[in-house]
Amino acid sequence: MRLALGRLAGTLRNPNFRRYAGAQFLHGAGMWAHHLAEVWLVYEITGSALAVGLTVAVRSGLAVVLSPLAGALADRKDRRVLLASTQASKSVVAGMLAVAALAMGEDLPLAVLFAAVTLLGAIGAVDTPLRRAFVRDVVIADGVDRAARLHTSVMSVGRFLGSGAAWLFLSLAMSWACFAVNGATSLLASLLVLRVVPTTGATSAEARAAGGRVFEYLMRTPAVTIPMGLLCSFTLFGWNLAVLLPVVADDQLASGAGTFAILAQVMAVGSLIGSVMIAASRLEGVRSLAVLLAVFSAAVLPLAAVNHLVAGMAAIFVVGVIGGGYLSLSNGSVQSAADPRLQGRVSAVYGVVFVGARAVGGPILGWLVDAFGSRVALVTVGSFTAACALVCLAAVSRPRPLRSDA
């Protein structure tokens, strides 16, 4: 453990990584403050979990459509300049939404909110693969796995503080302040990214352009594609719990926006702890990912039985620990195994799997909640992820036939 913590400390001592990590922290804090306010406002205006799921689908679906362009840009252009530009663009959109929400208050039209969701989704479609691929420009090659895992941990710190800001401002009926936080942090993140100096080991733009076709590469690289397949099963319903939390707070716990934000913050704390634990661990490989997915499914089921805030906080904390650890291991596995020449395009496919599954699963989960209640939906989530984990474990445990030398 001491050696593992030493490796983490070594990565954090890199000034370049600290600038990159600072930008990711700011991005995570602003994004989660904004996202929770957005989710609660949609639920408050419509009273429908399906509408919340559709909001997730709109934001995530754009990433699927724009992914080929995003991956190509990440491999052919200056990632540092592009990333600073996407963060600055996000700052403008979030700032404009904050002004509109402050001016209109409870009369903010749903159309305005969805317009902002659409614009931010389009920006995020380009921004997400850039942020993941940029890791290889920040650290030397043998530090990519640890840095990619720490990327999840840093985002979890931002998620925790962003959720805390959302709890405060939503409790005070100041959703506009959550959007303002996103605008301010995005601007600061843009400035930090511009201070990053790409490493001498960064793959040249010419080499990246000559890397070949990403789908042909994925077909022959199971070390990348199998973790992506598991990620899809995890994200489809398991990491779509934002669709469920407003209903858990409203129906199961008979509370409002403050409780919703508390649950989100507790989940963020768990995610941070889980991601740091995995970043410091020696876990690796498909079997570890499948086992973590099975543990996650078991952690979701108790949440269906909670009726009190303390029990809900305990259950969602465990879900956050396992979920954050899973994302850390998944991201590290894919980013370190990917061909450096195709890093941006592989990151784009990874992003499509992550947000595309959310886009599909969000409305389905919302419909389940509206039709059968949050408890049935949670049991469905746990059962589905357990089945996917068991199928994968059975596949990797199957003995391989002996090859005879003819």
CA angle 101, 106, 107 (to 5 degrees): 85
DSSP 29-47: HHHHHHHHHHHHHHHHHH-
Q: Would you list the DSSP string of 288-342?
A: HHHHHHHHHHHHHGGGGG--SHHHHHHHHHHHHHHHHHHHHHHHHHHHHHS-GGG
* pLDDT score at 185: 94
- C-alpha distance from residue 229 to each of 124, 126, 224, 293, 391 (Å): 22, 22, 9, 12, 12
DSSP type of residue 71: H
CATH number of domain containing 320 = 1.20.1250.20
In a domain, 390, yes or no: yes
**Residue 84 falls within a domain, yes or no?**
yes
Q: Considering only CA atoms, which of 267, 265, 262 is closest in space to residue 249? A: 262
Q: What pLDDT is stored for residue 155 in this prediction?
A: 81
Confirm if 312 and 252 have CB atoms less than 8 A apart. Answer: yes
The count of C-alpha atoms lying within 13 angstroms of the C-alpha of 171, restricted to the half-sphere facing its C-beta, is 12
Token pair listed for 46: 């419509």
Q: What is the pLDDT along the chain (406 residues), one digit of tens a residue?
A: 454 545 555 666 778 888 888 888 898 899 989 988 888 888 888 888 888 888 877 777 777 778 777 777 777 778 888 889 999 999 999 999 999 989 987 788 888 888 998 899 889 888 888 887 787 777 765 567 777 777 777 887 888 888 888 888 988 888 899 999 999 999 999 999 888 887 644 555 555 555 557 788 888 888 888 889 899 889 888 888 777 888 888 888 877 777 887 888 888 888 888 888 887 788 888 889 999 999 999 999 998 888 888 898 999 999 999 998 998 888 888 877 888 778 778 878 887 788 778 778 888 888 888 889 889 989 999 999 999 999 988 887 766 554 444 3
Domain membership of residue 405 (yes or no) is: no
Name the domain count of the chain.
Answer: 1
Could you tell me the CA-to-CA distances from 403 to 5, 33, 397 in Å, in that order? 42, 56, 18
Quote the pLDDT of residue 406. 38
Note the pLDDT of residue 403.
44
* 155 in a structural domain: yes
Contacting residues for 228 by C-beta, under 8 A, at least 6 apart: 218, 334, 349, 350, 353
* pLDDT value at residue 56: 77
Q: Does a structural domain hold residue 406?
A: no
Structure tokens at 237: 């319903």
Full residue range of the structural domain in which residue 366 is found: 2-397
Report residue 239: phi and psi, to 5°.
-95, 20
Q: Note whether 369 and 243 are within 8 A (CB).
A: yes
The upper half-sphere exposure of residue 343, i.e. CA atoms within 13 Å in the direction of its Cβ, equals 30
d(CA 288, CA 278): 11
Question: What is the pLDDT, as a whole number, of residue 191?
Answer: 93
Residue 335 lies in a domain: yes
**Alpha carbons 347 and 148: distance in angstroms, whole number:** 11
User: In 205-308, which residue ranges form alpha helices assigned H by DSSP?
Assistant: 205-209, 214-219, 222-236, 245-247, 257-280, 286-300
Residue 403 lies in a domain: no
Q: Which of 127, 150, 126 is nearest to 138 (CA)?
A: 150
The pLDDT assigned to 158 comes to 85
pTM of model > 0.85: no
CB 343 within 8 A of CB 335: yes
Task: Please indicate, yes or no, if residue 195 is contained in any of the structural domains.
Answer: yes
